[in-house]
Structure 1
Amino acid sequence: MERPNDKWLQRIIIPVLLLVANAAYWEEYDSLWRYLGWSLVGILYVQLVWERLVEWMLKIRERYPDIKQTRIRIALTFLGYIGIAGLAQALFVAVASQTAWAAAPLTTREFIVHLLVGQLAVVVTGAVYETLYFLNKYRDAVQEAEIVQKVTLQNQYDCLKNQINPHFLFNSLSALSALISEDKQRATEFLDEMASVYRYLLQAGQRPLVSIQTETAFIRSFLHLLEARYGTALRWQVAISNDLTESMLPPLTFQTLVENALRHNVLLPDQPLVITIQSTDDGHVEVVNNIQRKSVQVQTRPTGLTDLIARYKALEFPRLVISDDNGYFTVRLPVLSKKQADALVNAA
């Protein structure tokens, strides 16, 4: 957690306040040197106590940083302020009253007054710090909400674009036309898969999360269509554990990663692109493809993986884990149980 910029407080405000406060007791000092000496001691004491208070503040902010945790953060922060400042003030006043430097022993009333003044100063200063922190967090939340709104609108557009993608439709119809003249049985199967794909695309924008079983059924149909187009240049495998079929993830996740692999890699019959969608032992899903990058990349608007990461963030999902090594590109997808997914959607 980054420390607030409080050099102005330490170097200017605290020394000036201590000099003014000690000037109020000028009559109790028998010399200018005693006044300056006690002022210097006071400045050093306040600096030391303030460092402890800032450490406590940062510790609580690190544990409860979110704007939704403001109440508990404020409560714990100020309880710490009161405890630290109260103990420090009590020790300082007690020691000061027993030293030869003190102008006169402090009475109980004066002790309480010093204690309350210290507490008031800490509470007021702490309130200013917390207000600034809250305003910064609120500003960040507003900016993030605007980003999420833009991403949501872009996702809606992308979903609509996917539903009527003319290139995909043209390629699918071309493959279907070829199959009709070659193998009517395969053409019928292809048409069924095509209908399944477009049915899913039409429904994808209507729900934030779908089951892995539903997403898997869709991606199998989608890969069958791609297989008819690319032939032996594309190989694929889907192996999802039965334990994860009811788990949830954003719709079109698998399609996005498959298209990302197609966009960036070469597909040739003697150099096939191999895509594997599989579950892991620790309850995640991985989408893996071998890396055989195109020598020339087409420059387009950032899509695919970038948008998918933004979608996961907008839904407050755990982060994707992406690795690019040993000749394989792997995206590790977090999934939610049905209960977790329901809670997430209801909270949104």
Structure 2
Amino acid sequence: MILESYLAKIGRKRMSATTAVLTGSGTVLLAGLGLWQERYFSDTYTFIVGSTINLAAIWAAYRAGSALSPRVTGLFPDTEQSIYRVALWFGVYGIVNVAFFWVVLPLYHQAGLVETGFDLSWALRVSFFILSGSLIAAGLTELAYAFRQWRTNQDELEQMQEKQLQTELDAVKQQVNPHFLFNCLNSLSVLIADAPGVAEKFVDEMSKVYRYQLSVNGPGKEDILVTLDSELRFTRSYIYLLETRFESGIDVTLDVRDVFLSGQMAPLTFQILIDHAIHYNMVSPARPLSVKITVTETGQLEFRHNRQPKMLSMPLETPGIDVLITKYKMLFNRAGAVQLKEDEHDFAVILPLIFT
């Protein structure tokens, strides 16, 4: 992976260098042709001296344009804003190149490359070729930027795929999480002695939890989506196990209208969020953890709980919110699919639903 990243970095540098060479060479030739026409290629002195002066001026203009270029991508960073970037780069390069032309004009006079005096038609012709070169430079700059963006997206995709594999491994571990299983069996042993009827229901809900986990995880199920209805049924079983363990220390409210039940989402989303909330917050009858799951009017899931952080917390051993964000980014093919909101009282996670 390190070697691939290094080679990708080298590839991007070569692309940038190639773009600079092509841009510089094309602009030098266009500038020479615009200034001296046929004489530029027929007269050796004009070609060598003129190209040298033009190359120095264009290099200085390139450095100035490169300093301004990041501002363009900062204003219009998205792939669909290509036209705006090219137009702005063209404006920047055109202004810079024309300005440098008037700076080096005295050098042309001293070298005997142009006659003394001002010729409007000649100035307009030169300006046209300068702007043509600027347009080429803008196009090549956009090409280089698009290539860098493509490589960045490829690198991010590879990283997400690696993280997805780790997510699958974590999910498999979660299926046989010894701590969760131990807590369930410990609760069950108490119920068998004290409340056999409750113990029977506990076993039934526990089997539903593991059956669901096994049905949505495994090879070939990386991109599987489940309905909100099935996820809520699983969550109710999971909540029953938690409420049996924590009693009044946890209170989970599911407030979802039937119209949203057909929406699709990533499986085990609520389990991940509930586990995260339990891990990082105090759960006790004296200070119950209150969790509420709702769907907003715009069709987005909202998972919210009160904040009562633990003083000390061990590293979370189950897939966390970072993994959930990565999962939704892959499923929805865009960043920002999961939104986190937090204040001194509550912590909320907003997730999208897919309706087909």
> Fold match, TM over 0.5?
yes
Of 325, 329, 338 in structure 2, the residue corresponding to residue 313 of structure 1 is: 329
Distance 1:105 1:279, change over 3 A: closer
Of 65, 79, 82 in structure 1, the residue corresponding to residue 78 of structure 2 is: 65
**TM-score, structure 1 normalization:** 0.68
SS state at 1:237 partner: strand
**TM-score, structure 2 normalization:** 0.67
Between the aligned partners of 2:160 and 2:149, the Cα distance in structure 1 is: 16
Distance 1:324 1:124, change over 3 A: closer
Aligned to 1:33: none
Question: What pairs up with 1:80-91 in 2 under 5 angstroms?
Answer: none
Between the aligned partners of 1:290 and 1:300, the Cα distance in structure 2 is: 19
1:336 aligns with 2:354: yes
Aligned to 1:165: 177
**Contact residue 159 and residue 204 of structure 1 kept, 8 A:** no
Structure 2 stretches of 5 or more lacking a match?
Answer: 1-15, 41-52, 99-115
1:262 aligns with 2:278: yes
SS state at 2:286 partner: coil
1:197 aligns with 2:202: no
The code of the aligned residue for 2:195 comes to D
Residue 175 of structure 1 deviates from its aligned partner by: 1.7
SS state at 2:294 partner: strand
Residue 133 of structure 1 deviates from its aligned partner by: 1.0
Q: Choose between structure 1 and 2 for higher RCO, CA contacts under 8 A separated by at least 6 residues.
A: 2
The code of the aligned residue for 1:331 comes to V
Question: What pairs up with 1:1-348 in 2 under 5 angstroms?
Answer: 17=28, 21=32, 22=35, 58=72, 65-66=78-79, 73=82, 77=86, 106=121, 117-118=129-130, 120-205=132-217, 206=221, 207-300=223-316, 303-315=319-331, 316=333, 318-338=336-356
**Contact residue 72 and residue 85 of structure 2 kept, 8 A:** no
**Contact residue 223 and residue 236 of structure 1 kept, 8 A:** yes
Residue 152 of structure 1 deviates from its aligned partner by: 1.0
Residue 148 of structure 1 deviates from its aligned partner by: 1.1
**Contact residue 74 and residue 130 of structure 1 kept, 8 A:** no
Structure 1 stretches of 5 or more lacking a match?
Answer: 27-38, 90-100, 339-348
Percent of aligned positions that are identical: 26
Aligned to 1:29: none
Distance 1:63 1:125, change over 3 A: closer
Root-mean-square deviation (Å):
4.3
Aligned to 1:95: none
Distance 1:105 1:232, change over 3 A: closer
Equivalent pairs, count: 291
**Contact residue 265 and residue 291 of structure 1 kept, 8 A:** yes
Residue 228 of structure 1 deviates from its aligned partner by: 1.1
SS state at 1:274 partner: strand
Distance 1:74 1:172, change over 3 A: same
Between the aligned partners of 1:187 and 1:301, the Cα distance in structure 2 is: 28
SS state at 1:172 partner: helix
Between the aligned partners of 2:87 and 2:285, the Cα distance in structure 1 is: 68
